[in-house]
Structure 1
Amino acid sequence: MQLLGLLALLITSASVTEAQITIPIQRKGENLTALDYLKIANTRHKLGIKGLKDHRSTSLVNWQNALYTAQVTIGNNQVFNVDLDTGSSDIWLRGPACNGPSVNIADSTLSNTGKTFSDAYGDGSKISGIIYHGPVTLGGVTATLDFGVTTSESGMTGPFDGLWGLGFSLLNSIDFNTAKGNFIGAAGIGGFAFYFSNYADKDTGELTINGVDTTKYVGAVQWVPLTTLAYWQFSVVGGSFVINGVSIPMTGSSAIADTGTTLMIVPTAVAAKLNAAIGASAANSQGFSPISCSLTGPSITVNIGNSTIVVTPKQYVFQNGGSCVSGIVGGGANPDYIFGDVFLRAAYTVFDVTNKRVGFAQAIHPGSAVPVPSVPAPTKTSSAIVNKSTSVPPSPTTKATTVPKTTSVPPSTSPVTTKVTCAHDKCVIGPYLKAACDPCVALIVAKDAYCGVVTWDSTCVKEVKAICGIKC
């Protein structure tokens, strides 16, 4: 079955995929407080763990009072504001024993499974509780599955009532107890897209399910294939940052697009170069670089594959009371990247579940001119800046949507092929392959989903089968 066929299967098997839905999201909090370096240092877990099933520690990285939430419904019309996190797969809500709005566990549509769960987050906070089973709804999209209700919380503060994971099933701490895995699979969601307002302008944004809002970006969505089906992780090999014509290469190999992270976290050496180039001071003891609040600094052009996104001061400067800090921070010796809200405010970001890829386009913000990319000197144009692809038009059978001027998530137009040779001596970690073997790693991590769906390179498939015993 080709990928287009899989998309068609999803559309026919779940009614929720027949219409595009847009959900408003809201940023909570006025200023950034409690600058806690632990929330940065421990994010290394996200990129240090490649999505192994037995991993039980994820990183919820958001400064207190500075996160985006959306309204969801649990059970019989119980409404909560949750943190939407593409860096997690779990769903949990606060229970009666914890502070804030809590789930009414006496709801007749909910049942206690008798099972328990626990999670430890990168900032040192911990939760534990009981797993319930029942209907959960996000923007009119409903699935019946297992979710957590907390009975104990430690260090878990913030203006939200729970967590709603939009990652892949390999990240689960809670078994959703559905035939199709987590919420995305159980609800038949083929893809979704995020739009965030500038930090300095407004406190709003939107999540569009099964489509894109073409009024929110310019140019074509440029696609990057995923290198693993745990986080929304992709390769940054050959990528770069350009500031005032000076190119700063992206060291390392991998990055994740993570709505659960406020900052843009990069290798410490890269962070020092970027912050110096935008006029920020050296990092303080907490890991943050003070910067002028004037919003007059240079823009940062981010080149990933064929995608070129311009990040402006309105997106990378954060207020902290009467002073400001850069939203670009170092993640220690870890060579990889977490593209949080700093980047995602600049990029209209499409998470294509069906085709296992993420797409970026320059976001449009009211009252702000479309930023112009910075080209590195000399005059030779970087190949990463040249637009080498075109957008895929929506299917002519796409139904009307509740959002004006939206289109369906563009499907792949051809089977995925690879010319990568997966050498045994450098690719194997237990049953998984290193991301250096991209895109073979995706075939291993999701072998059941990919068997018969993509076209494998003959060399790769031979070695993959030999190493891991894959049978399609």
Structure 2
Amino acid sequence: MSLLCLLTLPALAFLSLSASAMPHPRAASSTSALKLAVRIHSNGIKNIAAADRARARTLVEAGSSSSIGNVTNAGVMYTADIGVGSPPAYHTVVVDTGSSNTWIANKSYTKTSTSYDTGNQFVVSYGDGFNYTLVAGEEYTDTITLTSNLVIEKQSIGVAFNVSGMGSVDGILGLGPVDLTWGTVSNAEEVPTVMDNLYTQNTISSEVFGVFFSPASAGDTSGELTFGGYDQSKITGDVGYAHITTTSPANGYWGVDEAISYGETKILTSAAGIVDTGTTLILIASDAFDSYKSGTGAILDASTGLLKISSDQYNQLSSLFFEIGEESYELTPNAQIWPRSLNTAINGTTDGIYLVVSDIGMQSGSGLDVINGYCFLERFYSIFDKTNSRVGLAETQYTYATTN
């Protein structure tokens, strides 16, 4: 797989006009899938652990203040191609469950007959790994084409000015809760998301979407984002569900209560975490991270910002267990290491063994103690169910893969 560059930018919120005057008939119980690709960031990010921690900080601040949406840089990200306007011009956007808004950069936006400038402005803060930056622009409504069966009318879309460092990525497709859009657009409070409008315009029959992707090292780029349900063919067992946590700020996202054990040793109990496609690594509270570091015998590698272990230590590595809802999800030793074929993308040595569990930068009890990012989600199918306020996880053919 070629290494493509990626820079995630802030998730913005935008005003959405829900449906046309005449209501559409409710879609039959069926799903429609949007193909995903994985992009490896290889331009500018030298420490993905620091970048992920910056994202965690902005997630905590946004969830506590309800004032900004946010995203930050990441080493690995899901992307999709969506159409904007009529006829649609296609743009590559980051698929982000940790933000709730859809936007593209001004340089890539072409006005068509369905483009309408609302006159509203948006502004949001994001972390770039070390600093915070504001991104601002103009709000439009326009037609969004996800697939031939998924077309949204009058969807709010931000057109961001002065956005730099995005490489070949044009913007964000936000799939988080609508509350994250609060106060980010002038003359609006909350603004309906893409999922909100798909449902209110009767394009999907259920406010559910599923995310599937294989490990980057498996060489399979056939990821899918399924709207209106999930793809049963992608899972190998039953789906386990967990209700959205009541703990703030995790409850402002796709947050769940969870506990973590390294082997037979409990390293985190009664924690609130979030399931987030916009984070690369698996981030855990600092005290839990110290316990994990001690248990694995790893050392912190200055070049990558990740824990590094020897071959002998890898052979002794225990599984990491995440208790979410009524189920336990096993992250095998192979699933705990960065794909060795992609070591150079993170400034590592070709023969190094780096762990994908990193320090969130806060002690447990912060209200956001775990982020189950890409390196977790590539091993488990994830289901996001707004109607029932829950998150589902299931094993796939890659749960126990040894491709890393």
1:206 alignment partner, one of 218, 221, 224: 224
Cα drift, residue 171 of structure 1: 0.4
Task: Return closer, same or farther for 1:127/1:180 CA change in 2, 3 Å cut-off.
Answer: closer
On the 8 A contact 2:319/2:330 being kept in 1, the answer is yes
Q: C-alpha distance in 2, partners of 1:178/1:141?
A: 26
Residue of 271, 279, 294 corresponding to 1:253: 271
Residue of structure 1 aligned with 2:300, choices 279, 282, 289:
282
Contact 1:283/1:289 (CA < 8 Å) preserved in 2? yes
Specify whether residues 198 and 191 from structure 1 end up closer, same or farther in structure 2 by C-alpha distance, changes over 3 A only. Answer: same
Residues 169 and 367 (structure 1 numbering): CA distance in 2 closer, same or farther, change over 3 Å? closer
Give the match for residue 347 of structure 2. none
- Summarize the alignment of residues 328-339 of structure 1 with structure 2, pairs less than 5 Å apart: 328-335=357-364, 336-339=369-372
Q: C-alpha deviations, 1:360-386, integer Å up to 9, x for none?
A: 1122229938xxxxxxxxxxxxxxxxx
- The equivalent of 1:303 in structure 2 is 323
Q: Using the TM superposition, give the Cα deviation of residue 261 of structure 1 relative to its aligned residue in structure 2, in angstroms.
A: 0.7
Once residues 272 and 197 of structure 2 are traced to their aligned partners in structure 1, the CA distance between those partners, rounded to angstroms, is 28
Quick one: distance in 1 between partners of 2:104 and 2:333?
35
SS at match of 1:39: helix
Per-residue CA deviations over 1:302-335 (Å, capped at 9, x if unaligned) read 2222122122344332243124422111112242
1:83 to 76, 94, 103: 94
Q: Secondary structure at the match of 1:34?
A: coil
* Contact 1:90–1:174 under 8 Å retained in 2: no
SS, match of residue 290 in structure 2: helix
- Residue 354 of structure 2 corresponds to residue 325 of structure 1: yes
Residues 1:108 and 2:113 aligned together: yes
273 and 14 in structure 1: CA distance in 2 versus 1, 3 angstrom threshold? farther
Distance (whole Å) between structure 1 residues aligned to residue 399 and residue 380 of structure 2: 14
| Mapped partners of 1:22, 1:138: distance in 2 | 9
Q: Deviations over 1:445-468 (max 9, x none)?
A: xxxxxxxxxxxxxxxxxxxxxxxx
Could you tell me which residue of structure 1 aligns to residue 212 of structure 2? Answer: 195
- 3-state SS in 1 of match to 2:291: helix
Q: Distance in 1 between matches of 2:336 and 2:401?
A: 15
Q: Which residue of 2 aligns with 1:39?
A: 51
Distance 1:355 1:326 in 2: 34
The residue that corresponds to 1:234 in the other structure is 256
Counterpart residue number, 1:344:
377
**More displaced stretch, 27-36 vs 296-305:** 27-36
Give how far 1:57 is off. Answer: 4.7
Cα distance change on mapping 1:125 and 1:34 into 2, 3 Å: farther
Q: Is the 8 A contact 1:83 1:162 kept in 2?
A: yes
**1:149 is matched by which residue type in structure 2?**
V
Q: 1:315 to 1:141 in 2, by over 3 A?
A: farther
Give how far 1:213 is off.
1.8
Are 2:195 and 1:184 aligned? yes
Task: Give the superposition deviation at 1:230.
Answer: 2.8
Q: How many residues align?
A: 344
In 2, the alpha carbon distance for the partners of 1:251 and 1:283 equals 27
The separation in 1 between residues aligned to 2:82 and 2:331, in whole angstroms, is 30
Q: Displacement of 1:111 after TM fit?
A: 1.3
Select 1:224's aligned residue among 229, 242, 248: 242
- Measured after TM superposition, the shift of residue 126 of structure 1 is 3.7
User: For residue 160 of structure 2, what is the aligned residue in structure 1?
Assistant: 150
2:106 to 84, 95, 99: 95
Rate the CA distance shift 1:208–1:192 in 2: closer, same or farther, 3 A: same
Write the letter of the residue equivalent to 1:320: N
Alpha carbons of structure 1 residues 56 and 50: separation in structure 2 relative to 1, 3 Å: closer
Q: Distance in 1 between matches of 2:170 and 2:48?
A: 21
Letter in 2 for 1:141: L
- 3-state SS of the aligned residue for 2:195? helix
Q: Which runs of 5+ in 1 are unaligned?
A: 1-11, 97-101, 370-472
What does residue 137 of structure 1 align with?
A: 145
Contact kept in structure 2, 1:287 and 1:330, CA below 8 Å: no
| Corresponding position of 1:122 | 127
CA contact (8 A) 2:300 2:308 kept: yes
Change in 2 beyond 3 A, CA 1:368/1:40 = closer
Distance 1:177 1:125, change over 3 A: closer
Highest RCO, 1 vs 2 (Cα 8 Å, sep ≥ 6): 2
Query: Could you report, residue by residue, the CA deviation over 1:150-188 in whole angstroms, capped at 9, with x for unpaired residues?
Result: 11125x434421101001111013489799822111110
**Are the equivalent residues in 2 in contact too, given 1:300–1:311 (CA < 8 A)?**
yes
Q: Which has the larger radius of gyration?
A: 1
Cα 1:46–1:367 shift into 2, 3 Å: closer
Alpha carbon RMSD of aligned pairs, Å? 3.0
Whole-Å separation in 1 of the counterparts to 2:309 and 2:229: 37
> Aligned partners of 2:194, 2:285: CA distance in 1, in Å?
32
- Given that residues 262 and 318 in structure 2 are in contact (C-alpha distance below 8 angstroms), is that contact kept between their aligned partners in structure 1? no
Length-normalised TM-score, structure 1: 0.66
